[in-house]
Amino acid sequence: MKLVRFALILLPLSGLAASGAFAQQSMQPAESDGAEMHMHHMHEAGPAITYAEMKDTVTRLDEARRATEKYRDVRVATADGYQAIGPDVPGMGIHYVRRTGPDRFDLERPQILLYEKDASAAGGYALVGVSYLLKAASGEDGQPMDPPFPKSLAKWHRHENICVLPDNSTPAGLTDEQCTARGGHFTAETQWMIHAWIWKESPNGVFSATNPTVQ
């Protein structure tokens, strides 16, 4: 994750640069007219995250990359029980959902793999990211309690009224009764979800809801 590591390196360097600029400015002579000098330094607050949290996040995402390396070949993902669900959405790609295994957060076995069409990739699809599900109570901030990634970096979301039909399509606007009548599976509210763009950089951030580079 070059972007995250670059942020880690940049943070201390930016602090030194700011200190150097302040020292240089403070050494300038006062105005000759005797006017009082007023110095105002505006510092924009960054994400409220500690160095330890940032370092742990990088470690976790590196582990996720190592664990999902094999799924760069979509045929391996299919053999492991992942199935394409829903349409190909610009900015998100195609969701390959794991239909087997434990229904809980597992860093090395994400419930969803995100692909985009790529004729040059194995199986015709390129792995661009992963998506995790999380069962957790909602906190006062409207986010899951005790999430595995810092809240200042990762914003979780949910989906409501999802119908998955036998052909794995997901038509919108169906009620529970309508979905069931068509042989589908209806979910009133999903677990908490988050995307992690660990295989294709997102200019909106590694945990952004969408990745504009995914077509």
DSSP secondary structure string for all residues of 144-205 = BSS-SS-TTT---B--EEEEE-TTS---SS--HHHHHHTT-EEEEEPPEEEEE--SS--TT-
**Domain-located, residue 115:** yes
203 in a structural domain: no
Specify if 165 maps to a domain.
yes
Name the least confident of 35-49, 152-166, 174-188. Answer: 35-49
Res. 28: pLDDT tops 90: no
DSSP state of 81: T
pLDDT band at 82 (very low <50, low <70, confident <90, very high): very high
Question: Is the CB of residue 106 less than 8 Å from the CB of residue 188?
Answer: no
Residue 98 banded pLDDT, cuts 50, 70, 90: very high
**Cβ-contact 94, 114 below 8 angstroms:** yes
pLDDT band at 68 (very low <50, low <70, confident <90, very high): very high
Which pLDDT value is given to residue 128?
A: 98
In a domain, 211, yes or no: no
85 near 168, Cβ under 8 Å? yes
The amino acid at residue 215 is Q
Residue 207 included in any domain: no
Beta-carbon contacts of 137 under 8 Å, excluding residues fewer than 6 positions away, are 144, 145
Q: Position 17: which residue type?
A: A
Residue 176 lies in a domain: yes
Looking at residue 46, what is its pLDDT? 57
CB 127 within 8 A of CB 211: no
Q: Is residue 158 part of a domain?
A: yes
- The count of domains in the chain is 1
Residues contacting residue 28 through CB under 8 Å, at least 6 positions apart: none
Residue 15 has pLDDT above 70, yes or no: no
**Structure tokens belonging to residue 68:** 């999902």
Q: How large is the average pLDDT for residues 177-190?
A: 93
Tell whether 212 is covered by a domain: no
- Percent of the chain having pLDDT more than 70? 78
pLDDT reported for residue 48: 83
What is the average pLDDT score of the chain? 84
Domain that holds residue 120: 2-28+38-196
